[in-house]
Chain A
């Protein structure tokens, strides 16, 4: 039944400092940060470049490309495309490079590899 307590057990006696210093965890952190940080910088730069163009390069943005479709509209729609693309890319990256290693570490912890006192606790899954 719904109480808030039981789910905490598995993690209570874990030595997190030890987990944090394992090569496996460092690898997970490196993989996560080396994807999300450059990507965040990239899309923010691209977004602000677009806003600056719309703000200060009105003539360029108003150039007609095809019929009534101008550069501004195309760049705006490309913002949609890049957002969808980054979303898809991140999901596939997480599935391949992040989730498996995160699961491995979690199972290691739940299997009591990192208990401070070495005593098995209830609630952990084998």
Chain B
């Protein structure tokens, strides 16, 4: 039996503000207690950055899923499918397949060779100083773009969920989210942050599962009927076919290739995902974590397929687009349609928790990179003790938190998916070639790493600045100017191959040879796990 979709009254959403705030407050209270309890054993750098390497593979896998299923994944993909149909689905495929790169080529080898940060691995057998600085700069750049995306997402969510539509009110909420995040990270360190991620991932996946079951039940568990409903509401059979969003022109088709490349190669180079592999005791647990996260993330994206088409069928693209929060409001509106204020409150709280948790994970990664790679290794030249390093990391957390709040207030209203895709493109260009070369290519040298990292980072950012996203079109950040010399909005298709090429060229042209004993050590360590950092006993 197919229910007749009742109109969703967007104005009625404001009556649920108190309920939303109550559920969100409950989440904050519960997680705060857990963070406090988890923080009692935070004594050393390994505790603070890597949670004492004491998490199991399944716990860490759930936390990785929590990190990865950001607001952009949940709200963004559901919204993209609801509005653009099939093209939104292709995002989730790229996001999922990307995990195979992490599983096969990166996770275990990285766990065996590093200690706390991505730079540990990249600088293992190359010259410490220049490579560490480059790796830390690209880590900070990726984290910053990702942070901006999450904070901007918080702003647009708030307008819908809490009924706060004025700029000052939204800014206030961004400040509250930022302050909460700083508290989590300061008190809890990696352990507290990981627990927040685990709780959030379970709530998010459970919430999505309930909604998926509900939507399918409305259509008698017939997926084809659900698709039929989406076509009927949209009055456009093309929502089931590829090309609605990206098939418009040759440039947009190429843009999709570029996006696909950035998505599939970016994941295994995201510093906040890489850092998660250090929270488990062995490489085998690192492998288990990736397996867990692949299953959870895959399952979740299957849910979003149903939810996206469900929102298209039951709420309708027009209602979604005109609601405050626009495309991002598809999932909350669907929740309201299905379960009324209570389900909306739950889903909204989960969406907020998502932003909070992802922001916390990014902040600790950026702080660890600054304190461990720039402060301890470069400024203090390796003479800083672990205690000072952690102190620096904590101060960095506050600085990054404040920057994220300020950036978030100004980025409020910007396109969230664009900022996330930018972070993926920068990560894939700046980090992935060097990760792969240093793990698998014996001849790779410092010059190759430096050329590849700065070349990848620089070309990605310059191409973005010259893209239609920044200037020259109606949806650009700067509408009044036009310096869009590069026709694509995602730079991946140029900057990623360029970074691989520069890594090769820099190595081949390098007159210096790297230390072969260091290469032997890295290769043996990475494959056997000998001497890898073990769990901290308490």
Contacts and interface: CB of A to CB of B under 8 A. Distances in A.
B264 A44 contact: yes
Given A61-B242, A79-B93, A4 B533 contact: yes
A79 B302 CA distance: 11
A28 B527 contact: yes
Interface residues of B, number: 67
10 contacts: A4-B533, A32-B527, A54-B242, A62-B240, A72-B86, A76-B93, A83-B97, A94-B287, A106-B530, A109-B528
Given A3-B44, A44-B264, A72 B529 contact: no
A122 interface: no
A12 to B, nearest CB: 8
Interface stretch (B7-15, B410-418, B453-461, B516-524): B516-524
B463 interface: no
A80 B101 contact: no
Contacts of B302: 80
Interface string B10-52: 0000000000000000000000000000000001111100001
Interface of B: 43-47, 52, 86, 89-90, 93-94, 96-97, 99-101, 103-105, 115, 222-225, 227-228, 231, 240-243, 246-247, 253, 256-257, 260, 264, 284, 287, 290-291, 294-295, 298, 301-302, 386, 440, 516-517, 520-521, 523-525, 527-534, 536-538
Contact of A73 (B86, B100, B440): B86
Given A1-B538, A43-B97, A83-B100, A19 B520 contact: yes
What bracket does the count of chain A residues touching chain B fall in? 35 or more
Interface of A: 1-4, 7-8, 10-12, 14, 16-17, 19-20, 25, 28-29, 32-33, 36, 39-40, 43-44, 47-48, 50-52, 54-56, 58, 61-62, 66-70, 72-73, 76, 79-80, 83-84, 86-87, 90-91, 94, 99, 102, 105-106, 109-110
B292 to A, nearest CB: 10
A58 B239 CA distance: 12
A44 B105 CA distance: 13
Nearest to A25: B524
A87 B294 contact: yes
A67 B228 contact: yes
A87 B100 contact: yes
B100 A43 contact: yes
A116 to B, nearest CB: 10
A7 B528 CA distance: 15
A69 B528 contact: no
Contact of B43 (A2, A19, A43): A2
Contact of B93 (A12, A14, A50, A55): A50
A28 B528 contact: yes
Contact of B104 (A39, A79, A106): A39
